[in-house]
Each structure stands twice: as structure tokens, then as C-alpha cells.
Homo-oligomer: A and B are copies of this chain.
Amino acid sequence: MKTEAAALRAVQGAAMRPRGELTDTLAGLMREGGADAVPDVARECARHALLDWACVALAGMREPAVRIMARLHDPLWEPCGGLVPFTGPSAPWAVLVNGTAGHALDYDDVNSRMHGHPSVPVVPAALAASALRGCSGRQLLDALVVGHEAEALVGEQFGGAHYANGFHATGTIGTIGAAAAAAHVLGLSDAQARHALGLAATQAAGLKCMFGTMAKPLHAGKAAMNGLWAARLAQQGFTAAADGIEGGQGFAATQCAGLREAPVVSERWAVQDTLYKYHAACYLTHSAIEALRALLARTRLAPEDVERLDVHVAPGHDSVCNIAAPATGLQVKFSLRHLMAMVAHGHDTADLDAYTDALACDAGLVRWRERVQVRFEHLPSAKGARVELHAHGGAVHVHYADVGVPREDLPAQWQALVAKGRSITRGVLAPGRFDALVRCIEGLEWQTDLLSLHEAITT
């Protein structure tokens, strides 16, 4: 019998199964990530991830999935312009609700090294851990760096097969990231960290076939909560197989036919490669939006100056975001032509509330989008877009953008995230609350505790 075979190993005093390289690496990261290992630039990037997560989650609190989830615990719950407080006996529940809120709009950050959304499992787990064990702003940022890094290390060694097999990496690999971040905040020992990784591996779940349903954001909330539990249980002496990730019949073997042979070596911390969504539309429209915005800023052309606009994108875009004549606000999100018209007319593509059915029928935009042609070709990046603007009079202006490449200009990225956050939290946060949140996160590295941060996001 299965269970007795395992018990027998204990009886016979069998040695712990050999520890794998990946768990070794992760446990070391969870323990050491904080010391002097994390460079300032990574912490700066973690600050960006935190701001973006907070704003997207605050905006996401209005979504039906989040309301249902919050009311399951507290039938009287009403959206109040803040996240559920991370303190008290309901902390795991808060992590679940806030984690779901962060992903409910699908507007949160992405990292191709993990094949998913890195912050949404990691940040709520780290915040809940910080509410349990006081920590400084710098420690929290380090924990976020550790969480992103753990996800990337696992995602890279799992390779594309895990995602291709049908697993939603944000839910599965995200559980490991959440455990790693929480373990770092809680100060787990090396042995505890290994058990936490095993407990995360055996709870990791989430199927890609749930995309398009409320279960998708649920995966993120569950990953955050399960990761937090993994770290807290391990801290109290709860045990798990110490090679649950890469060992025999472990996470990798069961869900992606084993690890790639060699770990990927990157000189950049994963959090530096985290990408942000700045437009509340399909991600494959973002490069074209950015390219046209850059062209218009450079040329200062007005909508009526444009005779024709050609948008060159990879062929994969055709089945995803090439609705030629959208009739509803939701369809606009998947219409390169209509989005180009919005950019030309100065509409705020970040605004969640912009995508109304009236917008889809706006006569000026409908007329203008007739000037736009979408053309397919193989570009340097499958996510890139080259926009050719033909002005009246014959001048042609061209710009190529690729939102798949991390921004190197961090001050510009911060400004863009602030603008996005302001746009999406309008109507959610009381006046002045957004500015206070930005100030708090700007100065986080110098704060000895996180009381102001928790206050800024939960009240």
C-alpha cells in the first residue's frame, strides 16, 4: 500500500531524499535574498510592482468575482474604497480576496520568465506576513524581489511545457513565489524554507481552461493564500517532502515532464524584467498604442492631419485583436483600428471606464478608424508593432514599439505607473488618497514599519 511504503521509509530511518538544485537555490534565495544581495535597482523595480499591484487591486475590488468572494466571509461586506485589512484572524481570507482583486481586471503585471503574472500572488502574501511580523519597508521590497525571482527561477526551469500543458502559471508557480516572499518576511530557517517550498508545491493548482471565467482571478488569490500558509505552517514545524518541486513525482515531474536540464542564467533580477499593462485593452494592442502615441508626441499632428495609418503586427494578432468594426465597449478592447482612433483623439486608453458602448459608436472615431489598415508581417518580436503614419501632403512617419521589452528608463516607468494608477483608482479612492498612496510607496525604503502602507491601501 502506498501510504505504508512512505511510513516504512520513516521506520527504516531512510535518509531524506536527495535535495535538488532548484530547491537549494530557492531556499538560499529565501534566506539570503535580503542581506546585501538585492541591488538598489531591483528594489526600485519592486516599488513599481507594489504601486501597480495596489492600484489594480483597489480598482479590482469593484468586480463581481471579488464581491462574491468577500461576501462569502462577511455577508455584510460592501466595497469601501480599500482592500480587506491584512490583520487579525481573517488574514488568510484577506489574502484570498485581495489576491483575487489584483487579477480580476487582468490589468496586472506580467513576466515572461515565469510565464505569468508575478505580483498578484506575491504581494498579498508578503503584506500579510508583514502584518504578522513587523518588518521595514526595505524588507518588504526585498521580499517582493525574492518572490519575483523565485517565480522566474521555477518558470525558467519548467520551460514553456508547463503552460502549454494547460497549467495557469500565475496560480501554480505563483504559489511558490508567494511562499518565498512570505518566508523571507517571516525569517524562515533553511530547513523551514524547504518545507515551505514542498507545501507550496503540493498545493499549487490552476487550469488554463478557466480563462474567461471568475476562476482565473481566483487562481491568483488561492496562490497567494496557499503560499502564505506554506510559509506559516513550515515556520510552526509542519513538514513536507523537501524536494517536492524537482523530486520524483514532484511538482515538475507531474506537471511539466520534469525540469529543463540546466537553469537559465540571467544577470538581471527577474523583477527588472517585469512588464506593465498601461491600457485597459488586449495586451497585443499595446505596442501599436505606444508606437502611435510616440509618433503623435514627436510630430504633434492632429487627427485631421492624418491621411492613412498602417499598423504592422505579427500574424497572430489577427485572431485576437483585429475586430474591424467593434459594436460594443468590450469589442473595442480587441480592435486595433478603433484603439488607434482613440489614441489619435487623445482618449485615455488606461481608463477602465472609457470602454463604453457609446465609445464604440462615436461617429468621429468610427469615421477616423476607416483610415487605419492592419497589416500582418513577421516582426522582430511577436509582441511588437510598427506604425506608419501617412500625413496629408505626403510625409510618412514610422515608429516601432515592443511592449515585450522591459523599460530601462525607470523614472519614466514610475511616472507612467502613477498616471495609470491615478486613472484606474479615480472613483475608487477618496480625493487625496491616491497621492498619499504614491508618497507612501515612494518613500517605502526608508520606513521602519508598514503601518502607513497598510493604512493607505486598506482604509
- A residues with a Cβ closer than 8 A to B are 1-11, 64-65, 68-69, 71-74, 89-90, 106, 163, 165-167, 171, 198-199, 201-216, 218-219, 222, 229, 232-233, 236-241, 243-244, 247-251, 253-255, 282-284, 319-321, 323, 328, 330-331, 333-334
Q: Decide if A5 touches B320 in the complex (CB within 8 Å).
A: yes
Residues of B within 8 A of A205 (CB): 202-205
Q: Which residue of B lies closest to A171 (CB)?
A: B202
Residue of A207, A233, A333 with most chain B CB atoms under a 10 A cut-off: A207
CB distance from A301 to the nearest CB of B (A): 29
Residue from B69, B241, B330 within 8 A of A213 (CB atoms) = B241
CB distance from A164 to the nearest CB of B (A): 9
Q: Decide if B212 touches A1 in the complex (CB within 8 Å).
A: no
Given that A73-B89, A215-B240 are contacting pairs, would A209 and B9 also be in contact in the complex, using a CB cutoff of 8 Å? no
Q: Which residue of B lies closest to A253 (CB)?
A: B166
Q: Decide if B207 touches A284 in the complex (CB within 8 Å).
A: no
A11 to B213, CA, bound (A): 13
Q: Decide if A213 touches B236 in the complex (CB within 8 Å).
A: no
CB distance from A233 to the nearest CB of B (A): 6
Q: Decide if B214 touches A240 in the complex (CB within 8 Å).
A: yes
Q: Decide if B247 touches A209 in the complex (CB within 8 Å).
A: yes
CB distance from A172 to the nearest CB of B (A): 9
Q: Decide if B239 touches A215 in the complex (CB within 8 Å).
A: yes
CB distance from A426 to the nearest CB of B (A): 23
Q: Which residue of B lies closest to A165 (CB)?
A: B254
Residues of B within 8 A of A11 (CB): 323, 328, 330-331, 333-334
Q: Decide if B233 touches A69 in the complex (CB within 8 Å).
A: yes
Q: Which residue of B lies closest to A172 (CB)?
A: B205
CB distance from A155 to the nearest CB of B (A): 14
A selection of 18 A-B contacts at a CB cut-off of 8 Å is A1-B282, A1-B284, A5-B319, A5-B320, A7-B333, A7-B334, A8-B319, A10-B212, A10-B330, A11-B331, A65-B238, A165-B254, A166-B253, A202-B206, A210-B244, A212-B241, A214-B233, A215-B240
Q: Decide if B334 touches A8 in the complex (CB within 8 Å).
A: yes
Q: Which residue of B lies closest to A284 (CB)?
A: B1
A239 to B6, CA, bound (A): 38
Q: Decide if A334 touches B211 in the complex (CB within 8 Å).
A: no
Residues of B within 8 A of A248 (CB): 166, 209
A297 to B161, CA, bound (A): 59
Q: Decide if B218 touches A199 in the complex (CB within 8 Å).
A: yes
Residues of B within 8 A of A328 (CB): 11
Q: Decide if A68 touches B209 in the complex (CB within 8 Å).
A: no
Residues of B within 8 A of A251 (CB): 207
Given that A240-B210, A330-B11 are contacting pairs, would A283 and B253 also be in contact in the complex, using a CB cutoff of 8 Å? no
Q: Decide if A210 touches B320 in the complex (CB within 8 Å).
A: no
Given that A64-B237, A69-B238, A240-B215 are contacting pairs, would A249 and B165 also be in contact in the complex, using a CB cutoff of 8 Å? yes
CB distance from A273 to the nearest CB of B (A): 17
Q: Which residue of B lies closest to A383 (CB)?
A: B1
Beyond A7-B330, A166-B250, A202-B210, 12 additional pairs, beta carbon < 8 A: A1-B320, A4-B284, A7-B282, A11-B328, A74-B89, A166-B254, A167-B254, A199-B218, A202-B219, A203-B205, A213-B239, A218-B238
Residues of B within 8 A of A3 (CB): 106, 211, 216, 283
